[in-house]
Amino acid sequence: MERTKGYLFLIVLKHLGIWVAVVLFFTASSLGWGWTISTKHETWLSHGYGALTNATIFYLTSFYLIPKFYNQRRKKRFVWYSVAMLSGICLLELYIDSRLGMWYDNKAYLIDSKLSWWNFILMGLLYILPFNLLYFILGFMYRLPKDRKEQYQRELQLEHEKLETELKYLKSQIHPHTLFNGINSIYHLVDTRPEKAKNLLLNLSNALRYHLYESSDEFSSLTKELEYVRQYIALNEIRINENAITRCEFEDFEGDYLIAPLLLTPFIENAFKYVSHHPDKNRNTVTIGIKVLENDRLYFECINTIDVGVHELKEVGGIGLENVGSRLQGIYGTSYRLQCVKNADVYTVVLELPLKEKL
CA distances from 56 to 49, 52, 61, 255 (A): 10, 6, 8, 62
User: Please, what are the domains in the chain?
Assistant: 2-34+42-155 (no CATH), 188-357 (3.30.565.10)
Instruction: Give the global pTM.
Output: 0.52
Query: Bridge-partner residues for 304, per DSSP?
Result: 286, 347
Closest CA to 253 of 301, 203, 295: 295
Longest alpha-carbon distance in the chain: 118
User: How far does CA 28 lie from the centroid of its chain?
Assistant: 48
CA distances from 182 to 195, 265, 272 (A): 15, 13, 13
Residues in the chain: 359
3-state secondary structure 65-99: HHHHHHCCCCHHHHHHHHHHHHHHHHHHHHHHHHH
pLDDT in tens, 22-39: 777 766 665 554 444 444
Rounded distance between C-alpha atoms, residue 205 and residue 207, angstroms: 5
- What local confidence, expressed as pLDDT, does residue 312 receive? 56
pLDDT lower than 70: segments of the chain: 1-3, 26-46, 100-117, 161-179, 181-182, 185, 212, 215, 309-323, 359
